[in-house]
A and B are shown apart, each in its own frame.
Chain A
Amino acid sequence: MKTLVWVEHDNKSLADATLAAVTAAGKMGEVHLLVAGSGCRAVADEAAKIEGVGKVHLADDAAYEHALPENVAPLVADLMGHHDAFVAPATTTGKNIAPRVAALLDVMQISDILSVEGDKTFTRPIYAGNAIATVESSDEKLVITVRGTAFEKAAAEGGSASVEEVSGPTDAGLSTFVSEEIAESDRPELTSAKVIVSGGRALKDSETFEQIITPLADKLGAGIGASRAAVDAGYVPNDYQVGQTGKIVAPEVYIAIGISGAIQHLAGMKDSKTIIAINKDEDAPIFQVADIGLVADLFKAVPELTEKL
């Protein structure tokens, strides 16, 4: 089987999420990559070094700069003439593009796979991860998105694939990129952070969230996450949200502060290696999944913890 993996990038460098998708694709067959963007040669060169990659397709066109699905999905669909499976990381970009490709190919997509069980058989979470379905596709071609936390990352070095330039349909004229507000931060990204400190509704407001959560995260070199309630209440921006429909994370250590543990939140973090919970409600569901729990008033306990670490 020949797979085509979507390379996630910002036209300058390759995003980590790609590496788990490469591992998943490697379990299915030969791995080809697609770097679609504008002025993104450096990304293709970086992609060619990933271990286990056979070939990198580079589609460099102004129309692909922001990965608008109206423009890139037809490109992918064309390339699928020579590939058997399209594999994208289950990032917001992958989730935006893959189903559009699937419909163009008349294929039913398999979202968010957790494992490769056979030629066309995969497992995937349903019902916020409260059930795991094993599904087998009867389609000739496959379109798949990959849950990043479920696969090891492929080694970023060690490969020496060739880079081949390809072209495809250009601007479909249906959509234009206007702007983006991407948070610049020195903190580790949530999906690749080793430690995450996450705050919930109990943090009261954005100033308090900042005062309580940030110093602890600084001390531990951690990424900062939040429950839906904290994001909805405006304490932190949307890209902090961990959960069923936000980011799925699996760090070494996840510290949940003032988070009760709704099933939608647990869906996004229960694969963390160690979960620590601090909550004043001893019956909070978060304690049912936490390895280490502390029943305490977070406004006293967290500053004390930060101080003593």
Chain B
Amino acid sequence: MKILVPVKRVIDYNVKPRVKADGSGVDLANVKMSMNPFDEIAVEEAIRLKEAGKAEEIIAVSIGPAKAQETLRTALAMGADRAILVQTDDEVEPLAVAKILKAIADEEQPGIVMLGKQAIDDDSNQTGQMLAALMGRPQGTFANTVEVDGDSVTVKREVDGGLQTVKLTMPAIVTTDLRLNEPRYASLPNIMKAKQKPLDTKAPADFGVDTAPRLKTTNVSEPPVRQAGEKVEDVDALVAKIKALGIA
């Protein structure tokens, strides 16, 4: 079985984004970029399935600028076998990303497409579900545990009230949540080896997908800023404050 792992290059999760003064977006110039943390978890889970003998090949895919190659090299250094970069400088919305991934899945015929539940830049939480719809296949979103058995995959999902377990007939789409695993760091020898692994470069047009955006962002602004309040001296002062709020 092949596992297809889409990964996105995003602002590093430790960086506090700054909104541009002209309201056109978020300033990404000279900002540290990394693999979307949820996608790292997806790469890790795919590698663990391969190590457990459940999968033979892991293909990492990224849709984005030339620099997304670095993100793919990270996936290769972690343990993916080969990579595909669908190169574009345009912003590609989740729907178009899902269409490109569908075209790649049609070619590669993976048993599982494993991807992050959400990218921490646009916070859409859509791509996996959309891909599942376009492929006409089942989806196990917000995965906490993934077990492959024969031609089905059982996914324990993190839901609002707790956990829900579903069984999906493969091919299936799985989106990862935080508790699924803790991604490994790539070792230096593996980072060197990753440079030799195959990385194909394509364009959205190669898949016949129109990436013209459906949504127009007319403005990006700072959220209302919360002011720091006051510090109290001791517990007694805090008790008085809490009582004044009328909750105790």
Contacts and interface: CB of A to CB of B under 8 A. Distances in A.
Interface in B203-220: 213-220
Interface in A276-300: 276, 278, 282, 287-296
B21 to A, nearest CB: 12
B138 interface: yes
Interface in A78-115: 91-93, 95-104, 106-112
Contacts, number: 266
A289 B228 contact: yes
A175 B16 contact: no
B226 A244 contact: no
Contacts of A231: 178-179
Contact of B160 (A92, A137, A253, A295): A92
B124 A131 contact: no
B215 A136 contact: yes
Given A69-B129, A194-B247, A295-B231, A134 B178 contact: no
A102 B179 contact: no
A262 B177 CA distance: 18
Contacts of A220: 247-248
Given A96-B141, A99-B125, A73 B162 contact: no
A135 interface: yes
A276 B215 contact: no
Nearest to B132: A100
Nearest to A282: B231
Given A103-B98, A176-B166, A131 B125 contact: no
Interface string B127-165: 111111110011111101000000000100111111111
Interface string A120-138: 0100011111111111111
Contacts of B141: 69, 92, 95-96
Interface string B222-248: 110010111110111111011101011
A181 B213 CA distance: 40
B122 interface: yes
Given A130-B16, A263-B16, A292-B230, A247 B134 contact: no
Contacts of B126: 99, 102, 109, 111
B33 interface: no
A108 B95 contact: yes
- 5 A-B pairs closest in CB distance: A291-B229, A99-B129, A103-B133, A108-B214, A103-B130
Interface of B: 11, 13, 16-17, 19, 26, 38, 93-95, 98, 117-118, 120-134, 137-142, 144, 154, 157-169, 177-179, 213-223, 226, 228-232, 234-239, 241-243, 245, 247-248
Given A131-B17, A275-B229, 17 more contacts: A68-B166, A69-B132, A70-B138, A92-B157, A99-B126, A100-B130, A103-B130, A127-B120, A130-B222, A131-B19, A132-B222, A133-B217, A135-B218, A136-B215, A181-B162, A232-B179, A282-B231
